[in-house]
Amino acid sequence: MFIDIPSELEAALTDLSLPPWELNGPFLAHSTMERYRTELTASPRFEETAATMRHSLTREGGGYAVLRLGNLAKALGTDDDRFLQLVTGIAAEMAIPFSPFPRWPLWKDIGVKIDKDPGKSSGTGYNAFHMDMVNGTLPPDYTTLLCVRPDPLGGGTSILSDAHAAVARLSEDSRALLAESAYHYGTFFDLFGVGEEYKPFPILDGSDPGEGFVRFTAKMLEKSQLGPAYADAARELAEELVRGQVTLMLQPGDYLIVNQRRFLHGREALHSGQEAVPVSDRRLLLQLFLRTRAGDGSAA
């Protein structure tokens, strides 16, 4: 699932300068996507690379990809607007980039805050398997993470698990419980582009086996009051997700794209001693969400 950039494409992208993006509400404007696509597809082997990414994200058994942009990040600098515009253009080949948070820019920083709940995305502890916007009626189809800096102490491995494969290993009784609207988690306010609050919701949405969202976050087991039988079924799913997990240590410039209809994601704990690491040196990811173009009513 790791995709290297061909050298000729890497060289062309290093010299390419895309214009600043424009938004239409929370979504990347159609005019920006068209401009980016025109510029990028003129670069050698770009369409081939984009096709490889799409195949990794949607093929049977697939659901995530890591595009290795380390050399490009080193050449341009991860804090350079040109680099982020290039990554946004690449993301737009998969689906429509958008920000559900009106208080945040298109790309949201996920840094490290030692005073945060350790299990949060910006915390220092284990971030259990989950899908983003689990309690929205229209969650992002893709969640993506661009690594600016890994944990300098060596922790914070990304974890991924095939949600449908985990569900297939459950008993029929557990799957029946997970298909009932008996689950809830978190709050829902001041969000754009993710539908309405879904509460309660089923973890399995009634799609054919292997299709649709698996609306799960392991945090519901600790932070939501669930009926005993429903909690047991969710706990069984959590165990299967861990049993089937893969781990990735993202390096600077690595761009992870996760198809939320197939895989759930999380993070191992950061290494101890984060309080001694200067804020400017701590792990930093940038997050961007994507919405599929067809049949979702959210075209920008």
Put residue 23 in one of left, alpha, beta given phi > 0 → left and psi -120 to 50 → alpha: beta
Instruction: Read off the tokens for 22.
Output: 């424009």
Compute the distance between CA of residue 31 and CA of residue 22 in angstroms, rounded to an integer.
8
98 and 300 Cβ atoms separated by less than 8 Å: yes
Q: Based on the number of CB atoms within 10 Å of its own CB, is 111 exposed (0-12), middle (13-18) or buried (19 or more)?
A: middle
Which pair of structure tokens corresponds to residue 157? 């491995």
How does DSSP classify residue 250? -
Tell me what pLDDT residue 120 has. Answer: 93
Number of H helices and E strands in the chain, helices first, is: 9, 13
Question: In the chain, pLDDT over 90 holds for what percent of residues?
Answer: 90
Task: Determine the pLDDT at residue 227.
Answer: 96
> Can you identify the CATH homologous superfamily of domain 6-291?
Clavaminate synthase-like (3.60.130.10)
Q: How far apart are CA 12 and CA 9, in angstroms?
A: 5
Q: What's the mean pLDDT when you consider all of the chain? A: 95
Q: What is the pLDDT of residue 300?
A: 36
**pLDDT of 294:** 60
Low-confidence ranges of the chain (pLDDT < 50): 295-300
